[in-house]
Amino acid sequence: MKEKIVDDAFWHEKWQRNEIGFHEPQPNAFLLRNFAQMHLPASGRIFVPLCGKTLDIHWLLSQGHQVCGIELSPIAVGQLFAALGLSPRVTATGTLQRFEAGKLCIFVGNVFDLTRHDLGHVDTVYDRAALIALPAAARSRYATHLVSITNAAPQLLVCVEYDQSCRAGPPFSVDEAEVRQHYGRQFMLTRMERHDIPGGLKGACPAAETVWKLVPLDGNASPQSPGA
């Protein structure tokens, strides 16, 4: 099956049309079950790439954590802050805009324009819908960029696996071999869960979700924040 064009315009149109079936109506169950395994300090700082307006951020904030994210759509970011009852300060950071209020900071723009300096220290990364949102040609670049800007911070990664020939995506299929291809040199990878998706992926084909814990190998560890 031919891969559809998934670029900035694709996602802007999704948000403009409110075609956001990927937005879950409650915090992700994998996050709730597995996040404690990341062993963060109470005030740890979590980076959520391609975050949309996910309710996972609500939950992370409720646990006392600091949350930083990046999202392409200003519609999504506006709705996120509104749902939280927050009025963000907005500043320009290069080609990005930075929305900040309390313990929440969201950059608006392309993830590849975000630098390590802009992002600052990260204790862990939570990637539920970023890697699998990108077509094959962009995933390797994304993974390399993510490791660089987060200084190889530990990561909780959620992927979906299915026969890519049966539908074009997104979400795109990312299996164990590809996870290891992108992250195996820098991290020890542990598969925390794997579950078949009831009814398959949008009824098109059998599929499963997997949850990975990525811990930096010796020499790649991100330095801990004070008090960790």
Q: How far is the C-alpha of 70 from the C-alpha of 96, rounded, in Å?
A: 9
Tell me: is residue 15 an annotated ligand-binding position. Answer: yes
What amino acid occupies position 120? G
Token readout for 18 is 């409110």
What amino acid occupies position 125? V
Tell me: is residue 128 an annotated ligand-binding position. Answer: yes
Please state, as a whole number, how many other Cβ atoms lie within 10 Å of the Cβ of residue 107: 25
Tell me: is residue 50 an annotated ligand-binding position. Answer: yes
- The DSSP result for 108-169, as a single string, is ES-GGG--HHHH---SEEEESSSGGGS-HHHHHHHHHHHHHHTTS--EEEEEEEE-GGG---
Q: Which of 159, 161, 217, 213 is nearest to 191 (CA)?
A: 213
Interacting residues of 215 by C-beta distance below 8 A, sequence separation 6+ = 154, 187, 188, 190
- Residue 171: cis peptide before it, omega within 30 degrees of 0: yes
Could you list the residues known to form a binding site, using ranges: 15, 50, 71, 128
Could you list the residues known to form a binding site for S-adenosyl-L-methionine, using ranges: 15, 50, 71, 128
